[in-house]
A and B are shown apart, each in its own frame.
Chain A
Amino acid sequence: MTKTPSWLDHAARHSSERPWTLGAVLEEYSRVEGVTRAETASFLGCDVDSLAWLSLCRKPAPDQFLEDVSRIAERFQIDGLKLAQLIRRVDAIVVLRRTTTAEEETLLLAARDRDEETEE
């Protein structure tokens, strides 16, 4: 990577708000693991600027996951295995969170139905 453009930080921040970007995954990873962006960069074996560029990438597609991860890793000279591990971890968290939320909603609905039956 050459000179860092002045808009890069803005772009990385905006990207992380879009679920289809790698930026959203990196943001979630930092949040869940309680680590800074610098620590995430260190985990992947790159600097913070490279992490900002990484944020702009499209998240690897499930049906060509390894191919996409390899392409990203090659472009940014980072550890592909660690990137895959990071994405898988965040994916798992997202799925678990969704499941938990759905279960909570089901339980709440069941409780409400029970209360209504009792009132009748």
Chain B
Amino acid sequence: MTFPGRADEIALHERVLAGDPVAPVDVFKAWMDPLVNALRADLRCSDDEAYDSGIDAVLAYLEEPGKYDRGKGRLSSYVMDIAKKRAIDRLRTRTAAERRDDGYAAAVDLRTMNPKDVLEAEVEARELWQKVENAVPDERDRRMLKLILEGERSTDAFAEALELGVLSPLAQRRLVKQHRDRLMKVLERLGTRLGHDEDA
């Protein structure tokens, strides 16, 4: 799995320049395996990153073969350079995405430690909601949870969601707190670690 010799690659290049319609097939056959192996070994690319970067490089060469200047070096080096640049771009993108994911995870942890921020986490709330619906079958409880996740703090609003309108304010406050505590335990069991403020 090595690059073709100088004479072979020049012959192939001449065919590409002449517009031979099947020359691209032979270019792929000659270069892809050595390109992929080098990208895996030198840059520790994944298979997909190595394939896509090698393919990008070969296609870039085939699209504009006239850009290759044989006075500046071997064609295999030219294509390898393109492939490595593409691979580095891909690795940077992957690393940046991983950092973003790590940052996001860290932000979620911080929010968990800071209850006030948790209520603003609409994104997490939406993702959690699917699990919540399974864990909280009662529609009234789910209405209360929605209010919690939307940032609601009013006992009256919670009491309305729980249909406690007929009870005294004191009983409402007590029952709301009980429901809330129970719901938070459910959420904890779900692994959401969602904190909350106490009712005003």
* Residues of chain A having any CB pair with chain B under 8 Å: 5-7, 10-11, 14-15, 18, 20-22, 53, 56-61, 64, 68, 71-72, 75
Contact = CB atoms under 8 A, between A and B. Distances in A.
A64 B19 CA distance: 10
A58 B63 contact: no
Contacts of B33: 5
Contacts of B23: 58
B54 A7 contact: yes
17 contacts: A7-B36, A7-B55, A10-B48, A11-B28, A11-B32, A14-B56, A14-B59, A15-B59, A21-B24, A57-B24, A58-B20, A61-B19, A61-B21, A64-B19, A68-B19, A72-B22, A75-B22
Given A5-B32, A5-B33, A15-B59, A10 B22 contact: no
A10 B49 CA distance: 11
Given A5-B32, A14-B56, A60 B21 contact: yes
A57 B25 CA distance: 6
A6 B51 contact: yes
Given A10-B48, A11-B58, 8 more contacts: A5-B33, A7-B51, A15-B59, A20-B63, A21-B24, A57-B25, A64-B19, A68-B21
Given A11-B32, A14-B59, A6 B47 contact: yes
A14 B32 CA distance: 14
B21 A58 contact: yes
Contacts of B47: 6
Nearest to B60: A18
B52 interface: yes
Interface in B1-40: 19-25, 28, 32-33, 36
A70 to B, nearest CB: 10
Contact of A10 (B19, B21, B52, B62): B52
Contacts of B58: 11
A101 to B, nearest CB: 24
Nearest to A15: B59
A72 B23 CA distance: 10
Centre residue among B21, B32, B59 by max chain A CB count within 10 A: B21
B55 A14 contact: yes
Contacts of B32: 5, 7, 11
B28 A56 contact: yes
Given A5-B33, A21-B24, A11 B55 contact: yes
A50 to B, nearest CB: 11
A59 B21 CA distance: 6
Given A7-B32, A7-B36, A72 B59 contact: no
Contacts of A60: 21
